[in-house]
């Protein structure tokens, strides 16, 4: 793993490290096994979140979830950077819709979560 540059963005670095490890057969057999591991890592994160004073443990578990998500993208032959970028664009477009609706209706100075959820669902349907 020494030839994986440390200055790479984290998603790309984790992808390269995982590819190297898989060359030695240190890998899951299929994406279904990775999904099971994601469930396990999320369970561990939920346990860590029960003690908010243990920030280091929460960071470790969240990092494990993210690392395993990169593994899932690799098993699905998807580039995690591109997948994330697509989700960012989708979120941004929906949020821009929500913002426009809010600014068009400035009579409502306060927006409760229910109203925002209605707008979000509208944005998703577009």
The predicted model scores a pTM of 0.85
Distance CA 57, CA 61 (A): 6
Q: What are the phi and psi torsion angles at 77 (to 5°)?
A: 55, 40
Tokens 């009579």 belong to: 107
Summarize pLDDT for 69-126 with one digit per residue, the tens.
Answer: 999 999 999 999 999 999 999 999 999 998 888 877 666 556 778 888 988 999 999 8
């Amino acid at each position: 793993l020494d030839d994986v540059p440390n200055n790479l963005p984290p998603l790309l670095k984790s992808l390269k490290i995982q590819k190297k490890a898989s060359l030695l057969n240190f890998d899951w057999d299929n994406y279904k096994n990775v999904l099971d591991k994601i469930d396990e890592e999320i369970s561990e994160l939920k346990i860590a979140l029960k003690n908010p004073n243990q920030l280091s443990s929460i960071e470790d578990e969240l990092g494990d979830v993210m690392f395993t998500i990169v593994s899932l993208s690799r098993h699905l032959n998807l580039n995690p950077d591109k997948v994330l970028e697509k989700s960012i664009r989708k979120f941004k477009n929906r949020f821009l819709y929500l913002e426009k609706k809010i600014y068009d209706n400035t009579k409502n100075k306060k927006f409760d979560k229910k109203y925002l959820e209605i707008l979000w669902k509208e944005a998703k349907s577009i």
